[in-house]
Amino acid sequence: MFKQTFELFPDEMWVAAVQVATVWTKPESAREIDRHGTTYPTNIEGWIESLSYEDSLALCDENRVQSQILYGEPVLVTEIKDDFAHVIVPSQPSKKDERGYPGWVPLKQLAKVDKQKWVKSKTAAIQADKAWLENEASEKVQKLSYLTMLPVEAVGEERVEVNTPHGNRYLPRKDVHIFSTEEGIEQGNGEDIVQAGIPYISLPYFWGGMSAFGYDCSGLAYATHKANGYRIPRDAGDQANAGEAVALDALQPGDLLFFAYEEGKGRIHHVGIYYGDGKMLHSPQTGKGIEVISLAGTKYEKELCAARRYWRD
């Protein structure tokens, strides 16, 4: 079940203080052309739109970006080096660290909060593609991504008051799903996982992307499961080593499909979501958008090597 757990965190804990904070491989991985993604506040849309195809591809090919975290997402800070903090992201399981996904985030994109005041009985998860965080005067403050989760202070007819790294703010009631913090998001089935990804068809692929501003292949798989109450590993290789193994002739919508080099015999490099009827929903690669395709006659048909199921009826 996907729920925010706080046992690992000290009484004073760190959370993301920007709409999307990118988790870099090293402090020096961020380039000058990435400044819209490393500033405070960020301009994620401006950053993604400003990058050329070659600039975007280099985020992967030069091993610059690891993952991303959303506004208010808690992290463990293990080291501070100049203007960057080394973090562990417990909400994103990884073989790289048993506590969660590791990497470096600009220190100015993090804020300290009091855990006792931060944790509330209810949590609001943004269910719209994007939602504007507002101040008390209903002025738009910051555009937030789908699945951003914030503690609930109070629920009104039109707005939900939430706790943020910058004090109490408001989200439109129609744009959020409120759930019990202790119990987590209610679990959906395989069809629900597919439906969670449909609104993002045509959204451009973004390496390391974990937000509605851009997903990579495993980020899309992670987000669609998160939306339906399942916490799965962050990376495709880890996703393929967990869950329930599914025979390739017994696939159901919502199952994850894995693809490997050397016609399925080499290293896993891609993951998609089984759509049904021999089709796959996936975020393919830099320069392309999220799509639904038929597997038959494609390179993916030859590279398909495994399937896993995380959902339950």
Active-site residue set: 217, 270, 282
Sign of CA dihedral 189, 161, 234, 202: positive
Phi and psi angles of residue 220, each rounded to the nearest 5 degrees, phi first? -65, -45
18-20-24-28 Cα dihedral, nearest 10 degrees: -50
